[in-house]
Structure 1
Amino acid sequence: MTKKFVSGGLGSSEFWAMVNGLWPGKPQFTESDYPKLDGKVVIVTGATAGFGYETKDAIKRLELEIAKEFGKTNLNVDHVLVDFAVLTTIKPAAEEFLKKESRLDIIIHNAGVMNAPDGSVTKQGFELHIGTNNLGPHLLEKFLDPIIIKTSQTNKPGGTRIVWVSSFTHYFSSKGGLFYSNPNFRNTKAVSAYKYGQSKAISILQAKGWNSAHPGGSNIISVSLCPGFLHTELTRHSSAFEQYMASIMTYHVRNGAYTELFAAFSPGLSSGDHIESFGRLTKAREDLEDPVAISKAWDYLDSNVASYICLNMSVSKTLN
């Protein structure tokens, strides 16, 4: 039986969010405003392309300036290979990181896919957007929760952060964020924007739900963001016409880095905040603020990654 997907729809607040996305103004929080990061450890997922690369590059340049100022040369930029569409690659990647580092100050869940061809699934059979954009990061965060909570106990309040990259397209998700009757959109006619939009609504729910699920992480700020309307490699699955329209309606990826780094470094943020381009507090869709919707989404994610955490004890031992 074919199930019908119904989007949450667009209203006046969504209209103005689109207007702000098309004409966001210049970034007000840039390199000169960032705090010193000496001794800090930052993870940016998906940092090989797009605004993830720009974010990593901005952090790297900031560290080089610090090294030059203090005569230090201890900057270390490392890479760990992980495929978020293959859940079995995530634990080895987390363990590799934990062998190298004894702290984690900031993680930016930036990696993702958009407009994947109809029928695309992960190695484990999940619809590709929800699998790559949500389940993969959720599982990675499970393995890294102990180290980031431990690090937060040595940092000032707000100095430890978890950033979840969402999108304006969260407005295209069903009410409550997930199409619970068929979250993998099997045998359902739904355009790619709805699938991507669902994954980005879930990112907001992850940001809002993390602290409730982790009482020991009260010193950690978990936020979500829409990086802005950017011309990135995420459009590689789009049609030639869609790519052309994106090229004339979007901004350079460097601006997305400014949004991410505002979320990672800007003072005055609180857990659950949502940020839009290019560094401005805003509100996500109202139904995604509902504690019931947040808890329900968190339980869904937990239940779908649970079988991939069986060796979590080896990660915990690394922290002792």
Structure 2
Amino acid sequence: MNDHPTAPVGHAHPPGATSDADAALALETEAGEVRRFWEGLGLPGLVDVHTHFMPERVLRKVWAYFDALGPLTGGLEWPITYRQQEAERAAVLREFGVRAFTSMLYPHKPGMARWLNDWAAEFARRTPDCLHTATLYPEPGVETYVREAVEAGARVFKAHVQVGAYDPADELLQPAWGLLAEARVPVVIHCGSGPAPGKHTGPEPIARVLARHPQLRLIIAHMGMPEYEDFLGLAERYTQVRLDTTMAFTDFCEGFMPFPRQALPRLGELGDRILFGSDFPNIPYPYLHQLQALERLGLGEEWLRAVCHDNATALFGL
């Protein structure tokens, strides 16, 4: 992703907002709607396991990639809804009532993971409501820096098979997976083939990882889109596998990778292992829409309470 020009950074202008004042009013209105959502469920707030905070120059290049309709976006128009500075983005999540969130970050080549982890540790120190996040890549020394991150207090890891273009079952990663399984540290992993397939995406490579590390706490990002049913099957087989809702069920994704209606009962039965995720700030629609998309599934308030708050609270001991 680093081969693309830097994207401009400014204030978020939600749909219909034409000025900073309009944008501020739109965010205030949306925050009220988000809060009404979780208050109506009797919750103290939300826990979002899939939000992106990373070094600003890296994030700007990610945004530039989306702006340029890079190949991994599937060629889709992808306007970034919350294109604010770091402190403003964190403030938006707090206004929404997000009690805890993550700093999902990921390397696309060797030599990046350790310094990303150093940045993430510092971000977590200055952002108490962020779950200390770390990442990894198949390279010599990966076990060492993963151990260092765990010992430094990392509470969740991010792995991105699509962007990193690596096999998650790579032998270089086996000691790190074993370490994370033993430490019981969850790993949010983008391994489905959406929005565009990669050489090592899909359920088969992850099945090989789980066969060797059945206690690894994998959180399948984006519900495993578009191989939803295959990844539901892995969760049914392995008790430590979870899935996050990131972008799934929204109008945007239903338009090109719809969730199969026949799988809704399975989704309901796995309600204790589905976690709310949004992909904030890199989403082409308002944050509220992800919550509305979950609600319209019709799986009930108990399911929504577990997904939007209670499951993550239990997993991370919040």
Structure 2 length normalisation: TM-score?
A: 0.31
Q: Which has the higher contact order (CA 8 A, sep 6+)?
A: 1
Structure 1 length normalisation: TM-score?
A: 0.31
